[in-house]
Amino acid sequence: MRSDAAGLFAPGGALAKTLPSFEPRPQQARMAQEVAAALASGRHLLIEAGTGIGKSLAYLVPAILWAARDPALPAAERRVVVSTHTRALQEQLVRKDLPLLERALEPLGVSFRCALLMGAENYLCVQRLSELGLMRGDLLEPRLAEVAEALRRHAALAPSGLRTEIPFAVPEAIWERVRRERDICLGARGPFWEDCLYRRDLARSRDTDLLIVNHALFFLDMKSGGRILPPHSAVILDEAHRVDEAVVSQLGLSVSDRSVGRLLEDLGAGQHRRRGRRDARAAAVAAGSLSGIVPRVEAAADGFFADVRRVAAALARAPGRGERRLEDRGLIARVREAGVLEDHLRAPLRELELALEERSGEAAPAESLALASLAARARDLRERLGVFLEQRAPDAVYWVECGARRSSAALHVAPIEVAHVLRPRLFEDGRRVILTSATLAAGGSFAHLRRRLGLAAASEAILGSPYDFEKQALLYLPAAIADPMTDADGFASGVVRQCRHLLRASGGGAFVLFTSYALLQQVHQALARDPDLRDLDLLRQEPGLGSSILEKFRMTRRGALLGTMTFWQGVDVPGDALRLVIITRLPFEVPGHPIAEARAEAIRARGGDPFTEDALPEAILTFRQGFGRLIRSRDDRGLVAVLDPRLATRPYGAAFLESLPRCRRTESLDEAERFLRALR
């Protein structure tokens, strides 16, 4: 299979015959060989594939050949799962790459079956749709009630729960009430599991050779002990630099005022509350009145989360505790011991749970299931609260978080490290695991990734980009900017000054990447007042508007998009729409975040250095991701400016620079401006 995989990428090979624009790339053929060898030998593989290699085809070809090698083998021994972090990459694989390979491999007698499973928010939830059906009268506007009824008819016959398969438009006001959501979905514990549209898609995935999923679903399956995805012999984790984040998200838990509020809204309380009719809840629950219990839960939730906000503020003021006010996310405070919060919400939730179970036993069959589902959700919230309040989870960190305007509050629990979970459940369970990304190594080493993920035995390969960065890119490192650690105001002024010069020269086509939303706002305000920049489309990242602002940017050559960590990675803007990337500051993790702080404590406890073992390599990987936004094709040209003077003034600065592809460098603003003007 090793030679077969490489042969498909050769000049005159199957891909060249199918794809007229195909260019043979040695790195792509080498990657296909490495993946084929890992599958055949049963070894794990870490493979960094630089931008432009075409890594998706390089792993899909050997994966398909592996799955099709012997149809007589059980499906579990042939099936390969491919997991990505982003929906965009999932869609690229399913809509572009796999159809191309289907055509290329057909003349060779190779066929395969594939399926796509997407993130929860893309699926219609029968449980929530049924709960919506409990509402009566004016609780739903007539137009929305019509759509809800059409969805019920669709759900009864639909082969798939994907929103894209619904043959009519679903307004967001309804979709947000009926889509699957992680903190609401009860899975096999809920009464609607047999009718679940998502479960139907899961069942169909058992008839595939290749299954495309996202990291959230893959690690949810791991958490469940493999009860969700069909058995498989190998997994390819693309965008593997996000694996640690995905595992933490799946193994952790949260309880927020929003999650409790949604339960009450789905009981009808929230609708009446917004209309000032708190006494009309009987209309919301057909099987019996909950009007005495629901107000008690509402009052208890209001008091409990007000207490959360007070505790967060008190902890943040306490000296030497490491709690911080994080400007991008409001107030975050670590809770180091049980008993800090008063436990006065679990009892009302238990009362509501029992009342709903009782009503479920008395109601008609359709309403009975919906009420049982609501009872199970109340139980799930109560159990999550118990884990946090009693600090039951081992090797975990606990914290509370309040919105920037104190309008929201949440409790969080997350594992401090994931290596002890991944080692037995993923790397030692018999599956072949291949991890790939454009940025996996720090300083030419996979040591940081191995430590984080608990991966010991694995083959390694680092394949550079085929692009000519010395011709395509210029790296600008200004010489005289204040140090952000010792002179924050001077640094901010320097960032504004440099951005003005560079944006005037480029005429837009720029990403300005920040690690702090406060600095982003400060710079945006200054640039918006500059009359010389009034012809630019100055775009600022806002919470929840990442995709829409990116589409606006792609539509114009004169855009300047100011963004935080969302835009450092996973964003692809090829062509001259992006010709300037400004990295304002080195992307070290925010100090004081509970997970980063707890990891540092764990590293110190075993005699290590948190900065060199964790913070520095993680920052280098993110830095490389930010640099990688610029050159996305052979025709791209552009400039990357790094405004943080610590590249030159700190010993670790060299490690950041050495991690980048070889390209021309300058400290001259005049040269940088001339370069940018030539690209206009």
Confidence band of 174 (pLDDT split at 50, 70, 90) = confident
- DSSP for 458-483, please give it: -EEEEE--SS-HHHHEEEE--S----
Lowest mean pLDDT among 250-259, 266-275, 306-315, 356-365: 266-275
Say whether pLDDT at 183 is over 90.
Answer: no
Whole-number Å distance between alpha carbons of 162 and 350: 34
Per-residue pLDDT, 318: 66
Question: What whole-number percentage of the chain has pLDDT above 90?
Answer: 64
Among 313, 295, 298, 292, which residue's Cα sits nearest to residue 257?
298
Among 575, 437, 586, which residue's Cα sits nearest to residue 513?
586
Say whether pLDDT at 330 is over 80.
Answer: no
Say whether pLDDT at 128 is over 90.
Answer: no
Say whether pLDDT at 136 is over 50.
Answer: no
Say whether pLDDT at 271 is over 50.
Answer: no
Beta bridge partners of 165: none
Say whether pLDDT at 656 is over 80.
Answer: yes
Say whether pLDDT at 138 is over 60.
Answer: no
Per-residue pLDDT, 544: 57
Whole-number Å distance between alpha carbons of 613 and 629: 26
Q: For all residues of the chain together, what is the average pLDDT? A: 88
pLDDT, one tens digit per residue, over 477-486 is: 998 899 999 9
Per-residue pLDDT, 545: 57
Q: What angle do CA 343, 345, 348 make, to 5 degrees?
A: 130
Residue with tokens 């140090």: 483
Beta strands across the sheet bearing 409-415: 253-256, 409-415, 396-402, 330-334, 324-326
pLDDT, one tens digit per residue, over 201-226 is: 888 888 899 999 999 999 999 998 99
Q: Are 564 and 518 in contact (CB under 8 A)?
A: no
pLDDT, one tens digit per residue, over 343-375 is: 999 999 999 999 999 988 888 776 787 788 889
Per-residue pLDDT, 450: 97
Per-residue pLDDT, 274: 41
**Continuous H helices in 68-125:** 75-78, 87-92, 98-105
Handedness of CA 588, 655, 576, 19 (dihedral sign): negative
331-347: burial string, b at 16+ Cβ within 10 Å, e else? bbbbbbeeebbeeebbe
393-432: burial string, b at 16+ Cβ within 10 Å, e else? beebbbbbbbbeeeebbbbbbbbbbbbebbeebbbeeebb
Question: What whole-number percentage of the chain has pLDDT above 70?
Answer: 91
pLDDT, one tens digit per residue, over 83-106 is: 999 888 998 999 999 999 999 999
Contacts of 654 (CB under 8 A, 6+ apart): none
Say whether pLDDT at 283 is over 70.
Answer: no
Say whether pLDDT at 276 is over 70.
Answer: no
Whole-number Å distance between alpha carbons of 400 and 255: 10
Which tokens go with 102?
Answer: 């289907």
Report which DSSP code applies to 282.
Answer: G
Say whether pLDDT at 539 is over 60.
Answer: yes
Say whether pLDDT at 540 is over 90.
Answer: yes
Per-residue pLDDT, 405: 62
pLDDT, one tens digit per residue, over 7-44 is: 899 888 889 888 878 889 999 999 999 999 999 999 99
Q: Where are the domains of the chain?
A: 2-102+208-247+418-463, 469-679
Domain 469-679 sits in CATH 3.40.190.10: no
Whole-number Å distance between alpha carbons of 489 and 649: 18
Do domains 2-102+208-247+418-463 and 469-679 share one topology? The answer is yes
Per-residue pLDDT, 331: 86
Confidence band of 52 (pLDDT split at 50, 70, 90) = very high
Per-residue pLDDT, 546: 57
Report which DSSP code applies to 667.
Answer: -
Q: What radius of gyration, in Å, describes the C-alpha atoms of the chain?
A: 27
Lowest mean pLDDT among 12-21, 304-313, 437-446, 519-528: 12-21
Per-residue pLDDT, 428: 95
Average confidence (pLDDT) over 275-282? 36
Among 94, 89, 95, which residue's Cα sits nearest to residue 214?
89
Say whether pLDDT at 152 is over 70.
Answer: yes
Q: How far is CA 680 from CA 215, 471, 595, in A?
A: 39, 17, 44
Whole-number Å distance between alpha carbons of 109 and 22: 21
Candidates 3.40.50.300, 3.40.309.10, 3.30.1330.200, 3.40.50.150; correct CATH number of 2-102+208-247+418-463? Answer: 3.40.50.300
